[in-house]
Structure 1
Amino acid sequence: MTSDARVVVIGAGLAGVALARRLGELGVPALVVGEEEHRPYNRVLLAEVLAGRYAPEVIALPGPAGEPVRGRVTGIDRAARRVRCADGTEITYGTLVLATGSNPVLPPLRGLFGADRRLPEGVHAFRTMDDCLGLARAVHPGVRAVVVGGGLLGVSAARALAARGAQVVLAQQAERLMERQLDPVSSGLVRRHLTGLGVEVHTETRVRDVRCAGGAVHSVELADGYRLDTDLVVLACGVRPRTGLAEEAGLAVRTGVLVDDRLRTSDPYIRAIGDCAEHDGTAYGLAAPALEQAGVLATLLADPDATARYTGTRALTRLTLAGDEAPAAPAPFLDLAAFGDPDPRPGDDVVQLADATRGTYRKVVVRDDRVVGGVLVGELGTVGALARAWEGAEPLPDGTPLLHLLTNDGGS
């Protein structure tokens, strides 16, 4: 069977669906091909589904006209401008857009894979709706869980598991949680929050071994030889751009599929956006750049003469950690936002406000009269103004008291 569409989008995640929806608004026909059985959903909110705060349908994305075609693309014929699907379907394109997303990083742990290269029973990645639903079925009050990885994904997973009543241990190889986004003080507040939910946090700790019996995990071993008995292991070690189709088709790939400012790959008829794309040396792996790329590309595909360009995204990390679904006693929310570089250089101006009793912390870094980074925990009233100042990269007005950047009331 052969079908035709002007624009074919491979991937029904946030980037692909946002692109198709915007193209529809601009009157450009687009066909989305997605391999997951579930309706397109917001992957950012999977932890809330795992925590039991949202049902899966709540995080469904508003889709374009027409449901995505379900199928797995197995190859791209660039000469014929056609993609092949696992069921034998061939789809012809005028422009092909790769929005294939990313795969979870599976660490090189001894015992992680059996002879069939499948994860043992009880060991879960945490990337897709199926991963999330599989974990939700396995979690019950008192179950023992080890989360490997203390970045944004690992912290979210640990909080969600604790909300379901699991006994959670989080093992982080770096010296602090979310070290890419947070400074030591704000990371410490996140750690305190997780500890308050009953999560046992180990930093500067590497898991080296997964122990199984009868095909099911029963413990993990740390690099220092300490063994943790467990029923579940959650791998939250980051993601890697999904580039297999692009590589097999002969497109230029480094970390991700290389694209220019018009989001073109090395083939002028193929574009790439979202987690799988690498622009100007950066593969973002975040929602904000994916949405911005989708908007720019929709404009360009609707009007090839448009001057729109993608020049990079200054991404804001925002996360709500909530323990209010824990079966024991309600725990407070912990809101945090981080942007830019929160670690000052010599000569930078730094303003910090901390309240140890309330567990709040605000910090902004100013370099050459420009906001270059900051982090807020617990109180986000000024995040909008700070993020705008940072994104604009404009000098602060002369005479601006730096304390005003962190207060809603002029510092009183």
Structure 2
Amino acid sequence: MTSEKRVVVIGGGLAGLRLASRLGTAATVTVLGEETHVPYNRVLLAEVLAGRYAPEVTALPSPGPVLRRGVRAVRVDRAEQAVHCDDGTVAPYDTLVLATGSNAVLPPLRGLFEPDGRELPEGVHAFRTMDDCLALSAAVRPEVRAVVIGGGLLGVSAARALAARGAVVVLAQQGERLMERQLDADASALLATHLTELGVEIHTECRVRGLTTTAPAPSAFEARGAGGGAPAAGAAPGQRRVTGVELADGYRLEADVVVLACGVRPRTGLAQAAGLEIRKGILVDDELRTSDPRIHAIGDCAEHAGQVYGLAGAALEQADALAAVLTGGRAPYTGTRALTRLTLGGTGDDSLDLAAFGETTPRPGDDVVALADGTRRTYRKVVLRGDRLVGGVLLGELSTVGALARTWEGGEPPHDLFHLLTDDGGH
């Protein structure tokens, strides 16, 4: 590829900026970033919410003039080979890369939206973007009643961060246990114990039916017309405010703040409108090409071999692989062996680190080796299939995670499993 080739990347997040950095001067690159914020590491948003990091600490390396911030792509014209933007500009391309990421899932709760409305009640927040994080931070104060809906990675991170800010936190999880996609039952129970000790009230197998809200506050004109004077302080005219969460069994949780942490969904609207093939995400092959060979997709929006990863590590690997393809390296992308790592920050007894990789639930015939230390509150478990390490979970002490992950990724038989599981296994 020569520098005359025009590469347009839609998405100014981790994947899009990594690709732009890897391409360097090999192409003329334009990155369209919808958010007005300086690009940031989404993984660190929970630390911002907890008050441990200032927002600027999350900033990614500056991409320079290739990034157009605050510009939203509204249409891809494949025949014209151009992207039309909301500011009226048009970005022509030779190669287009969709790095549009994902959106927070908003569950179908009664009372979440008014008929024909799309505005969330005051006090209800998603937890996906920097704007979400800053709005939630502004709403949190000591003793505020917060309900987190969803007990996956996002929900656990949000609940821990809110508790660190002094909120009274209830976590409602529809499944049987916390982080059930990553953790086994024992690890999930240890995580629940940790959160409970920090003051988080946990309800599992708990389905949320709806929200209760106040009636919209009248405008000043409406209030005076009714003889009632000005509206109450803090009540935005026409804005409902959340007051509680209704569970399917009829129980009601009082709430000043509700966090929707129900997962994410790939952003595929632009691709679908352009006629590209979509399933769970935007379908790509081993060169990360979509059904249009001039358009590629990477990161949370891409589906490769039936898998949508939604993890930072996979997004970076895909960006690197695509950079190699576009610069003539033609290194195929064969998938990512994803490792989930979460630091529930703090100091001393308030902190907990966890990591999970591969298949953490054994199949019939698999061997399981587990070490637990109740005093130190650590747990390590690996799953073996024949002589291969196929998955593992670690909580409380992660010094061996690097060695275990390398053994798992390499597909080699572990030579000394006990050594890998003990504290000195990573050295």
1:346 to 364, 370, 388: 364
What per-residue deviation string (whole Å, max 9, x for no partner) do you get for residues 201-259 of structure 1? 11110111100003000011111111001100000000000000000000001010000
What per-residue deviation string (whole Å, max 9, x for no partner) do you get for residues 255-299 of structure 1? 100000000001111000000000011111111110000001111
- Show the counterpart of 1:154: 155
In the TM superposition, what are the counterparts of 1:297-376 in structure 2 within 5 Å? Answer: 297-303=322-328, 306-324=329-347, 331-376=349-394
What per-residue deviation string (whole Å, max 9, x for no partner) do you get for residues 183-214 of structure 1? 11111111111111111011110111100003
Structure 1 residues 154-163 or 27-36, which shifts more? 27-36
SS at match of 1:342: coil
Q: TM-score, normalised by structure 2?
A: 0.90
Q: Which runs of 4+ in 1 moved over 4 A?
A: none
- RMSD between aligned alpha carbons? 1.4
- Distance (whole Å) between structure 2 residues aligned to residue 369 and residue 189 of structure 1: 28
- Show the counterpart of 2:250: 225
SS at match of 1:66: helix
What per-residue deviation string (whole Å, max 9, x for no partner) do you get for residues 102-125 of structure 1? 011111110001242211111000
Contact 2:104-2:128 within 8 A present in 1 as well: yes
Query: Residue 19 in 1 paired to residue 12 in 2?
Result: no
Contact 2:29-2:66 within 8 A present in 1 as well: no
Contact 1:21-1:63 within 8 A present in 2 as well: no
Contact 1:146-1:232 within 8 A present in 2 as well: yes
- Distance (whole Å) between structure 2 residues aligned to residue 162 and residue 308 of structure 1: 45
Give the residue type in structure 2 aligned to 1:63: S
- Distance (whole Å) between structure 1 residues aligned to residue 346 and residue 156 of structure 2: 12
- Distance (whole Å) between structure 1 residues aligned to residue 165 and residue 335 of structure 2: 38
SS at match of 2:177: coil
- Distance (whole Å) between structure 2 residues aligned to residue 202 and residue 337 of structure 1: 23
What per-residue deviation string (whole Å, max 9, x for no partner) do you get for residues 121-143 of structure 1? 11000000000000000000010
In the TM superposition, what are the counterparts of 1:82-121 in structure 2 within 5 Å? Answer: 82-115=82-115, 116-121=117-122
- Distance (whole Å) between structure 2 residues aligned to residue 53 and residue 66 of structure 1: 31
SS at match of 1:140: coil
Contact 2:5-2:27 within 8 A present in 1 as well: no
Contact 1:21-1:65 within 8 A present in 2 as well: no
- Distance (whole Å) between structure 1 residues aligned to residue 404 and residue 102 of structure 2: 30
2:418 to 385, 403, 412: 403
What per-residue deviation string (whole Å, max 9, x for no partner) do you get for residues 338-364 of structure 1? 101111122212111101122110111
- Distance (whole Å) between structure 2 residues aligned to residue 409 and residue 120 of structure 1: 51
What per-residue deviation string (whole Å, max 9, x for no partner) do you get for residues 336-394 of structure 1? 11101111122212111101122110111111100001011111111111000111112
Shift of 1:301: 1.1
- Distance (whole Å) between structure 2 residues aligned to residue 28 and residue 335 of structure 1: 41
Contact 2:287-2:330 within 8 A present in 1 as well: no
Give the residue type in structure 2 aligned to 1:54: Y
In the TM superposition, what are the counterparts of 1:122-133 in structure 2 within 5 Å? Answer: 122-133=123-134
- Distance (whole Å) between structure 2 residues aligned to residue 80 and residue 41 of structure 1: 32
- Show the counterpart of 1:40: 39
In the TM superposition, what are the counterparts of 1:264-279 in structure 2 within 5 Å? Answer: 264-279=289-304
- Distance (whole Å) between structure 1 residues aligned to residue 383 and residue 284 of structure 2: 32
What per-residue deviation string (whole Å, max 9, x for no partner) do you get for residues 140-168 of structure 1? 00100000000000000000111111000
Contact 1:18-1:63 within 8 A present in 2 as well: no
CA shift in 2, pair 1:44/1:314, >3 Å: same
Identity rate, percent: 70
Contact 2:47-2:345 within 8 A present in 1 as well: no
- Distance (whole Å) between structure 2 residues aligned to residue 384 and residue 82 of structure 1: 44
Contact 1:206-1:222 within 8 A present in 2 as well: yes
What per-residue deviation string (whole Å, max 9, x for no partner) do you get for residues 288-320 of structure 1? 1100000011111122xx230110001001111
- Show the counterpart of 1:327: none
Contact 1:95-1:270 within 8 A present in 2 as well: yes
- Distance (whole Å) between structure 2 residues aligned to residue 409 and residue 282 of structure 1: 34
- Show the counterpart of 1:134: 135
Shift of 1:331: 4.4
- Show the counterpart of 2:308: 283
Give the residue type in structure 1 aligned to 2:75: G
Give the residue type in structure 2 aligned to 1:362: R
Contact 2:74-2:85 within 8 A present in 1 as well: yes
Shift of 1:409: 4.8
SS at match of 2:318: helix
- Distance (whole Å) between structure 2 residues aligned to residue 387 and residue 322 of structure 1: 22
SS at match of 2:65: coil
Query: Residue 9 in 1 paired to residue 21 in 2?
Result: no
- Distance (whole Å) between structure 1 residues aligned to residue 62 and residue 27 of structure 2: 15
SS at match of 2:352: strand
- Show the counterpart of 2:55: 56
Give the residue type in structure 2 aligned to 1:202: H
Give the residue type in structure 1 aligned to 2:214: A
Q: TM-score, normalised by structure 1?
A: 0.94
Contact 2:152-2:180 within 8 A present in 1 as well: yes
Contact 1:47-1:160 within 8 A present in 2 as well: yes
Q: Which runs of 5+ in 2 are unaligned?
A: 216-239
- Show the counterpart of 1:379: 397
